[in-house]
Structure 1
Amino acid sequence: MSVIELHDIVKRYQSGEGTIEALKSVDFSAERGEMVTVIGPSGSGKSTMLNMIGLLDNPTEGSVRLDGRDVTDFTEDELTEERRTGIGFVFQDYHLLPMLTATENVELPSMWDTSVDRHDRAVDLLRRVGLGDRLNHTPGQLSGGQQQRVAVARSLINEPDILLADEPTGNLDQDTGETILTELTRLKEDENVAIVSVTHDDQMLDYTDSTVRIVDGVIQEVSRA
């Protein structure tokens, strides 16, 4: 069973010039342990599609299924809980808090759940992404690639089923980007997580299991590695 499914998704926005149809009858699915890369020109609907997968926006038409459950009509509180427990996010700009250490930044998404102590998992995740010697460093003491590794570790702290990556190598040089992609490939297998990334970076295509090309809100092609 796919962990996330979009069925016949349409998304319309109102603008000063009228109605914009950002997604047009989009079907999509991803399975655990799979990396899917979404590509397409600027304004093609990639970010809107990622927002649908991440339960950050609601479709105008169509349905969203998470682990077999229809979550299309969930309340905002219910969607927030689904995001907190089942979806991890990796952003291009890292979004680390500058006053916290690497370990504290990784622990942050779990701090609202007082029933569990995620400190040991945070340390383990940082060690697994090669930052065992940077546990107590703040973001200002880390390189861009190291900050992105912290962001990857943070996205996995709550043991999500899905990891969404928005241009995860966009601010990195090629060698550092390859390091991040190697880590994501290893972690998708170790954590059995579905990774869905949106990118303009062609080197990601060497690491992905399948590629989805979207143009003008329409999926034009789906290809497997």
Structure 2
Amino acid sequence: MSVIELEDVIKRYQSGVETVEALKGVDFSADRGEMVTVIGPSGSGKSTMLNMIGLLDTPTEGHVHLDARDVTDFSEDELTEERRTGIGFVFQDFHLLPMLTAVENVELPSMWNTSVDRHDRAVELLRRVGLGDRLDHTPDQLSGGQQQRVAVARSLINEPDILLADEPTGNLDQDTGQTILEELTRLKEDENVAIVAVTHDDQMLDYTDTTVRIVDGVIQEVAQP
């Protein structure tokens, strides 16, 4: 069963007097342990679609299902809780806090839940992404690839069902990007998460299970390599 599903999703935005239809009846799904890569030209609706999957935005029409539950009409507080417990985010620009160490950055999403001690999991995740010797380093003491690995570990701290990656290799050289993709491939299997990535990086297609091409708000192709 799909962990996330968009059903005939339409998203309209008001831009001045003009109505822009960013998504036009999109159907999409992803399973645990699957990596789905979303590609398409700039302005095609990739980011809007990622926002729907990540519960950061709601459809104008259509439905969003998370673990077979219709969450389309959830309140903002309910959506926030779903994001906190079930969805991890990896960004192109890492978004690490500069005053915190690697392990503190990884622990950060879990810090408001005082009933759970995630320190050991944070350490273990950093070790799994090859940063066991960088636990106490701050971001300015880490390379770009190392910072992205910290971001990947952070996205998994709350044991999410879905990991969303927005251009995860966009600020990295090709070799470092390949290392990150290898880490994501291994972690999707170890953690049994669904990974949905938006990218312009062609090398990511070598690691994906499903490629979705979207153009002008319409999914034009779904392919398995």
Please report the TM-score for the alignment, with normalisation by the length of structure 2.
1.00
**Aligned partners of 1:112 and 1:193: how far apart in 2?**
23
**Aligned partners of 2:17 and 2:143: how far apart in 1?**
43
Could you give the per-residue CA deviations for residues 143-179 of structure 1, whole angstroms, max 9, x where no partner exists? 0000000000000000000000000000000000000
Q: Map residues 7-156 of structure 1 onto 2, 5 A cutoff.
A: 7-156=7-156
Q: Secondary structure at the match of 1:221?
A: strand
Q: Secondary structure at the match of 1:83?
A: helix
Could you give the per-residue CA deviations for residues 1-50 of structure 1, whole angstroms, max 9, x where no partner exists? 10000000000000025000000000000000000000000000000000
Q: Secondary structure at the match of 1:124?
A: helix
One-letter code of the match for 1:99? M
One-letter code of the match for 2:78? E
Question: 1:219 aligns to what?
Answer: 219
**Aligned partners of 2:71 and 2:125: how far apart in 1?**
30
Question: 2:168 aligns to what?
Answer: 168
Q: Secondary structure at the match of 1:7?
A: strand
Q: Secondary structure at the match of 1:168?
A: coil
Q: Secondary structure at the match of 2:114?
A: coil
Matched positions, count:
225
Q: Which runs of 5+ in 2 are unaligned?
A: none
User: What do you get for the CA RMSD once the two structures are aligned?
Assistant: 0.4
Q: Secondary structure at the match of 1:135?
A: coil
**Aligned partners of 2:200 and 2:26: how far apart in 1?**
20
**Aligned partners of 1:46 and 1:180: how far apart in 2?**
21
One-letter code of the match for 1:51? N
Give the % identical residues: 88
**Aligned partners of 1:60 and 1:18: how far apart in 2?**
16
Q: Secondary structure at the match of 1:11?
A: strand
Q: Within the alignment, does 1:197 sit opposite 2:204 as a pair? A: no
**Aligned partners of 2:18 and 2:183: how far apart in 1?**
43
One-letter code of the match for 2:80? T
**Aligned partners of 2:210 and 2:153: how far apart in 1?**
23
**Aligned partners of 2:37 and 2:93: how far apart in 1?**
19
One-letter code of the match for 1:48? T
Consecutive aligned runs of 4 or more in structure 1 exceeding 2 Å deviation: none
One-letter code of the match for 2:213? R
**Aligned partners of 2:37 and 2:120: how far apart in 1?**
31
One-letter code of the match for 1:158? N
Could you give the per-residue CA deviations for residues 68-107 of structure 1, whole angstroms, max 9, x where no partner exists? 0000000000000000000000000000000000000000
